Amino acid sequence: MIVSKLIGSNRKGTLWKTAVFATFWAIWLERNTRIFEDSENLAEVVWDKIKFWTATLVFRTKHFEDLSFLDLSRD
């Protein structure tokens, strides 16, 4: 349901909306790790999670259908 609301009218809008959502999601997961597992990840790991979730969520949208998942997750 959330992903359907993220889709914008253009590539840039879709990417930014999704990146914001992925940032909140990665921060939430990191918060849970710190509270419930008493450990923490490096900032680079959190950043990689943000890129991964953004790529995962936009991968099958019409604006990014010409790119492979590897291209999206790498950039």
Tokens found for residue 65: 């259908």
**29 shares a domain with 44:** no
**32 shares a domain with 11:** yes
**14 shares a domain with 29:** yes
**26 shares a domain with 6:** yes
Tokens found for residue 17: 């909306």
pLDDT tops 70 at residue 70: yes
Give the residue numbers spanning the domain of 61.
40-74
**53 shares a domain with 68:** yes
- Compare 73 and 14 and report the one with higher pLDDT: 14
**46 shares a domain with 30:** no
Q: What is the pLDDT of residues 8-67, one digit of tens each?
A: 578 888 888 888 989 999 999 999 999 999 999 999 999 999 989 988 888 877 888 888
**29 shares a domain with 13:** yes
The predicted model scores a pTM of: 0.76
pLDDT at residue 23 in the model:
94
pLDDT at residue 67 in the model:
82
In angstroms and rounded to an integer, the radius of gyration of the C-alpha atoms of the chain is 13
Total structural domains within the chain: 2
Single-letter code of the amino acid located at 21: F
